[in-house]
Amino acid sequence: MGRHRRGFRQRIVVLRCPRVAVAVALLVPLLSGCGPSEEPPGQAVNLAQDVLASRDVLNVLRVDTDNDEQDEWVVFYRFDRVEDRGPVAGLVYDVVLDPSSHLPIVYPYRLRTPNEDYLAQGEPKVVLIELVPEPAGATPRKELLLKTDSELAFFKVTSELVNQPSDNPSLYRCIGFFRSRDGVYYNPDNHEVVVTSRAAYERSQLVTKHYYRPEADGYFVTGTTTLVTPFGSAVDFPAGIPEDVLDTPYPEKIVLAFYRTLGTEGAKPPIVECLTAQAATEFQQGRLRYGSPWPLDELKLAVVKELGYYPTDAASQSTVVTVKVVFHRNTGEMTPLFEVRWTMVRVQNQWKMDYPQS
């Protein structure tokens, strides 16, 4: 018999999961005997079935989430599932060195939202963004954005914890979280977030949009999980002024279309078509009192903050719509909140703005 010796060889362990096959290099002890020996085949590990056997794994993505020039595994899974629905949670698996054995291990980091709220209802998209500047001399690290049509979750990597097998405190710290069933939107050019809500305007399907900008440490007030105050808000149409808005059964939509059109050239429908004949004449002569302290040629835009209206039906021939609006001048000036009460009348089965009471 020849002499036996123990040695270490590198072995590739392949983790297989839906849509993804990943490889992790691990050092494992192999016993080699005398004579020729064959390299043992790689051991296939199914991440969804073997590692997360009790979870409904939606997807696994390869992304460098901590900017260490190595891809991690971003895992989304569903819990509390009812049929094919249920909330979604997220994990990031990374290969790090175990401090006791100095061997690589696959360590899970949770993507925690405030109050342990669920991450999303559907599978998020993963985007790396440059949101919060790093201190001078620190390694630049991008932030992680997970987004759906209804949720936005922003995470910042805690630099001193990168590649450490510890998640307390969290490696991925949430610095902004938005949810609205009526829609959320992130603008990558200026990092503004728009949150849409249909509350209070269900009958006419109008929305209120709130606008947020990040501050020193993201979208939360520093040291808290409270969102910063929105820098603006407006009542608006969900997707622009409808082409057939003049035929709407809801008079408040006519008022909103009028103010949304102020300061806009070539608007369709033309702004005067929101008005009765007498009101249109006064508007063209610059005598219609719609709230602005400045003439039309100095007006940049009007932002509607609130709309109030009374129930109407097909037999209604007149009603009142109240609008609260802020006017912006071309020079950058803006007014305080103005309130105008409009008397609305039906003309040939279309609602028209007749005269204002400010």
pLDDT at 41: 55
238's CB contacts (< 8 A; 6+ apart) are 183, 196, 205, 206, 207
Q: Is 253 left (phi over 0), alpha (psi -120 to 50) or beta?
A: alpha
Q: What is the pLDDT of residues 139-187, one digit of tens each?
A: 778 999 999 999 999 999 988 888 899 999 999 999 999 999 999 999 9
What whole-number percentage of the chain has pLDDT above 70? 86
Going along the chain from its start, the domains and CATH numbers come out as 5-179 (no CATH), 245-357 (3.10.450.100)
> What is the average per-residue pLDDT within 282-287?
93
Return the DSSP state at 219: S
Per the listing, tokens 């991690």 go with 72
pLDDT at 26: 36
The structure tokens listed for 246 are 């003049």
Task: List the strands of the sheet with 44-46, edge to edge.
Answer: 20-32, 5-17, 44-46
pLDDT at 8: 35
66's CB contacts (< 8 A; 6+ apart) are 72, 92, 94, 141, 157, 162, 163, 171
* Mean pLDDT of all residues belonging to the chain: 86
Q: What is the pLDDT of residues 70-127, one digit of tens each?
A: 999 999 999 988 888 899 999 999 999 988 888 999 999 999 999 999 999 999 999 9
pLDDT at 36: 52
pLDDT band at 352 (very low <50, low <70, confident <90, very high): very high
User: What global pTM score does this model have?
Assistant: 0.80
Q: What is the pLDDT of residues 289-310, one digit of tens each?
A: 999 999 999 999 999 999 999 9
**Torsion, CA 148, CA 187, CA 271, CA 320, rounded to 10:** 60
At residue 287, does pLDDT exceed 70? yes
